């Protein structure tokens, strides 16, 4: 069960049909989970902004660095050129290069790409090294390709799957989470979808209830795992240029903050934002040096900012609600969020009776 199934509404905007990133039309998610033996707890999550050849039909994009203690690949080119040309891949810290290699191979081998010699793969990561034998680098290029192949529209698995298999959030089992918001017609009717890979710390708040404080479940030293991190992917069908996508991406950090996240020193917090609007696609090659691009005006961004904040908060909470207790490397054990206790706290705070 997800948080919203219990009647808890995060924010004031309504979610899309599935309350997932795939509510944004055309978006696909694929995952590959590598949960083997005593100490392999890792995987891949792939997000495809559209079903075509992404290299040939690039999408406007931006990446915002909330806290740069991380190894995400592809940042500087997205910043410079304002676009994304590959699927977005999430995995563990030490498997980023393997995933980049896989995406390069995937792109080189696509029809029409026979003469391509330069590819900017965007691969994010968090460090699952507490539960996973990360030094073993068990992810292979085939695993990455399988995640891409698995990609589909529709429901998205949450919790300890794909890139979230071995992650930890606020000291509980984290993982993959997703959520969405749909703007009212008069605000454009756009959909914003968010997918997160949660592996960070702070003092947990659920819908404003101070769960971490009440449970005494936060670091006494006010420090947190140096290897924490949160990857946030924000997709929207609103027609945005890269400048406004960067502004949108920045707001995801405000959503993370709602859950009690603090972007601790060791947390690599990155937000990748993409517009899937068809009219904004950027062909790899074009005879016309000028492209007419529909662009949302600055002042129309505010409702999208709110949508991003709400969907990010709920996606993170969904990752926690989907988590299950896991034992991994060296017998390390991470408990799932004690959902019953949390729901009881929410009830006491008057959050369930809506």
Distance CA 242, CA 60 (A): 6
Name the active-site residue from 39, 128, 133, 269. Answer: 269
Distance CA 136, CA 87 (A): 25
Strand partners, 283: 57
Task: Tell me whether residue 13 or residue 168 sits nearer to its own copies (CB atom).
Answer: 13
Name the active-site residue from 229, 242, 264, 275. Answer: 229
230 φ/ψ angles, rounded to the nearest 5 degrees: -145, 125
- Give the nearest distance from C-beta 242 to its own copies in angstroms: 6
- Give the nearest distance from C-beta 237 to its own copies in angstroms: 13
**Which residue has 């017998």 as its token pair?**
331
Active site residue 187: no
Active site residue 229: yes
Task: Tell me whether residue 74 or residue 162 sits nearer to its own copies (CB atom).
Answer: 74
Task: Tell me whether residue 138 or residue 258 sits nearer to its own copies (CB atom).
Answer: 258
How far from each other are the two terminal CA atoms of the chain, in whole angstroms? 17
- Give the nearest distance from C-beta 107 to its own copies in angstroms: 10
Strand partners, 65: 270
- Give the nearest distance from C-beta 53 to its own copies in angstroms: 17
The three state secondary structure string of 66-114 is EEECCCCECHHHHHHHCEECCCEEEEEHHHHHHHHHHHHHHHHCCCCCC
Distance CA 168, CA 347 (A): 25
Task: Tell me whether residue 175 or residue 303 sits nearer to its own copies (CB atom).
Answer: 303
Closest CA to 232 of 270, 185, 283: 270
Task: Tell me whether residue 157 or residue 219 sits nearer to its own copies (CB atom).
Answer: 219
Distance CA 333, CA 304 (A): 39
Q: From residue 168, how far is each of 11, 44, 52, 160 by CA, in Å?
A: 25, 16, 34, 10
CA angle at residue 160 from 254 to 307, to 5 degrees? Answer: 25
- Give the nearest distance from C-beta 151 to its own copies in angstroms: 21
Task: Tell me whether residue 22 or residue 242 sits nearer to its own copies (CB atom).
Answer: 242
Active site residue 180: no
Closest CA to 16 of 8, 26, 24: 24
Spatial contact of 211 and 258, defined as CB atoms under 8 Å apart: no
- Give the nearest distance from C-beta 293 to its own copies in angstroms: 5
Which residues are part of the catalytic machinery? Answer: 229, 267, 269
């Amino acid at each position: 069960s997800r948080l919203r199934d219990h009647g808890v509404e995060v924010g004031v905007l309504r979610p899309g049909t599935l309350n997932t990133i795939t509510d944004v039309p055309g978006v696909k998610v694929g995952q590959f989970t590598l949960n083997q033996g005593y100490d392999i707890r890792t995987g891949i999550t792939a997000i495809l902004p559209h079903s075509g050849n992404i290299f040939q039909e690039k999408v406007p994009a931006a990446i915002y660095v909330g806290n740069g203690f991380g190894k995400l690949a592809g940042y500087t080119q997205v910043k410079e050129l304002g676009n994304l040309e590959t699927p977005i891949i999430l995995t563990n810290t030490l498997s980023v290069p393997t995933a980049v290699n896989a995406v390069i191979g995937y792109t080189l081998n696509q029809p029409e790409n026979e003469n391509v010699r330069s590819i900017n793969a965007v691969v994010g990561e968090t460090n699952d090294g507490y539960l996973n034998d990360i030094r073993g680098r068990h992810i292979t290029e085939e695993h990455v390709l399988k995640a891409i192949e698995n990609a589909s529209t529709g429901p998205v698995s949450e919790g300890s799957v794909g890139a979230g298999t071995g992650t930890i959030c606020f000291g509980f089992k984290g993982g993959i989470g997703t959520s969405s918001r749909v703007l009212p017609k008069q605000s454009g009717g756009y959909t914003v979808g968010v997918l997160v890979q949660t592996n960070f710390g702070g003092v947990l708040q659920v819908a404003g209830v101070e769960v971490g404080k009440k449970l005494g479940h936060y670091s006494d030293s006010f420090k947190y795992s140096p290897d924490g991190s949160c990857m946030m992917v924000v997709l929207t069908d609103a027609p945005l240029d890269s400048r406004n996508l960067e502004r949108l991406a920045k707001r995801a950090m405000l959503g993370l903050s709602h859950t009690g996240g603090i972007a601790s020193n060791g947390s690599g917090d990155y937000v990748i934002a993409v517009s899937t609007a068809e009219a904004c696609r950027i062909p790899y090659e074009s005879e016309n040096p000028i492209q007419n691009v529909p662009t949302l005006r600055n002042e129309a961004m505010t409702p999208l900012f709110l949508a991003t904040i709400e969907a990010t908060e709920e996606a993170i909470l969904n990752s926690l609600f989907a988590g299950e207790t896991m034992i991994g490397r060296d017998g390390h054990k991470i408990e799932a969020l004690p959902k019953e206790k949390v729901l009881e706290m929410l009830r006491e705070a008057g959050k369930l009776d809506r």
